[in-house]
A = this chain, B = another copy of it.
Amino acid sequence: MPVRLNQTDSGFESAFAAFLETKREASPEVDKVVRDIIADVRARGDAALIELTQKFDRADLGAMGIAVTPDEIKAAYVQADAKTVEALRFARDRIESHHKRQMPKDDRYVDAIGVELGSRWTAVQSVGLYVPGGLASYPSSVLMNAIPARVAGVERIAMVVPATGGAINPLVLVAADMAGVTEIYRVGGAQAVAALAHGTETIEPVAKIVGPGNAYVAAAKRQVFGKVGIDMIAGPSEVLVVADSANDPDWIAADLIAQAEHGGGAQSILIADDAAFADAVAAAVDRQIAALPRPEHAEESWRDFGAIILVAKLDDALPLVDRIAAEHVELAFDEAEAFFARMRNAGAVFIGRHTPEVIGDYVGGSNHVLPTARSARFSSGLSVLDFVKRTSILKLGPEQLRQLAPAAIALANAEGLDGHGRSVAIRLNM
């Protein structure tokens, strides 16, 4: 049964606080295994990749090669369903258009005393993209991770994806190709992350690794962090729907289920201002789940992590929404814009009754890689910014140095850094 909370109940605050602390995923202890795998790949390169892939993915890379060939990509276009390929292209174009607006601008200026300052953005030179195998091998995720990198100007986008049992989903290859991935390797797990970070005979090392993965992949990313950059470690997905009683309960139920069906700790939360409406949604959820061809994940997530929170009026939901800081927030009521203007924490917001979150998963144009587990309080979804870095610029002439010198020397002396003071003073014969 999903949690039921009522903001006007006396015990609400402690129950809500406990709800926020609910752990939704196990953290298996895999650090040692992962450390050994990374050391093995560093020591033996391709040979280790081939051996580990035989063991974990039951695929013979010695025979089929580590790198996916251009011919295989061509073949994937033929194997893939034509309508789906068309949908991928449609999504690609929309995602690309949106992300092109995210490129940060350089800044260079001269201040009042003639000091030149600036910031210059350049692309990360090479990026590795991890794509899970099996059921979670989503072509849409390939687009969402690769397109911002390409828009940023990354030259090398190296994708790794396990060929579980020897095969890779052709749609994943197609998505990679149309998103601008430059290299594809059929390796997965911690060994793939190790290869991207440290390089092997076949795989050149990259500067940053992005993309979702299981506990082994996440642990490997943490371990190679520093040697390379990494994106956020994504947790289970979540949606928070704020809805009034003017909604069709079936629509809202469908949105809650769409999130829950991800399973693995996915969370769906409804905040409503009408108990009868909330009951109607709950009933619709049960009815619709039962009608799903594969109900198990949705059933389990809704039962274990689902929540319905009643508030006296939707305005009262504002502090709750900010504390939940959900990955996805649907605002399905007339005053959604005014509510959003006062909100603070959300990975993405879906405004109005006709914007189901699923649109953002695929074809809205915005990115579906978003902060989970309340991390929208301090972090943002994936964007072009994740694939660029800034160099700050200073340029002084002798006159500017003279003007800044006294304060710089005073602070250097106060911090006991004599050499710092000297490097300024020596230029002014001080």
Binding site for B on A (CB under 8 A): 81, 83-84, 86-88, 90-91, 94, 97-98, 101-102, 104, 107, 109, 111, 115-117, 119, 122, 124-125, 135, 138-140, 171, 207-208, 226, 228-229, 233, 235, 250-251, 254-255, 257-258, 260-262, 288, 292-294, 298, 340, 343-352, 354-367, 370-371, 373, 375-381, 383, 385, 389-398, 400-401, 404, 406-408, 410-424, 426-427
A381 to B90, CA, bound (A): 37
CB neighbours (8 Å) of A139 from chain B are 411, 414-415
Query: Quick one: copies of this chain in the complex?
Result: 2
List 25 contacting pairs A-B, 8 Å CB cutoff, sorted by A.
A84-B410, A111-B365, A117-B365, A140-B411, A207-B377, A229-B375, A229-B379, A254-B423, A257-B422, A298-B419, A343-B391, A347-B391, A347-B392, A352-B396, A354-B397, A354-B401, A355-B401, A358-B424, A359-B396, A361-B408, A363-B408, A370-B392, A376-B389, A379-B389, A381-B392
* Contacts known (A139-B414, A358-B408, A391-B376); A250 close to B102, Cβ less than 8 A: no
A370 to B139, CA, bound (A): 36
Q: A122-B345, A363-B411 are in contact. List 4 more A-B contacts (CB 8 A).
A: A91-B407, A140-B411, A226-B235, A257-B422
Are A394's CB and B361's CB within 8 A? no
CB neighbours (8 Å) of A235 from chain B are 226
Residue among B228, B257, B379, B416 making CB contact with A423, cutoff 8 Å: B257
Are B423's CB and A357's CB within 8 A? yes
Are A98's CB and B117's CB within 8 A? yes
Residue of B nearest to A413 (CB): B84
A367 to B385, CA, bound (A): 19
* Contacts known (A392-B366, A396-B359); A226 close to B373, Cβ less than 8 A: yes
CB neighbours (8 Å) of A250 from chain B are 426
A415 to B84, CA, bound (A): 10
Q: 4 tightest CB-CB pairs across the interface, nearest first?
A: A229-B378, A87-B410, A87-B407, A261-B419
**Chain B nearest CB, measured from A57 CB (Å):** 20
A346 to B394, CA, bound (A): 13
* Contacts known (A124-B377, A373-B226); A348 close to B394, Cβ less than 8 A: yes
A122 to B376, CA, bound (A): 11
CB neighbours (8 Å) of A90 from chain B are 407
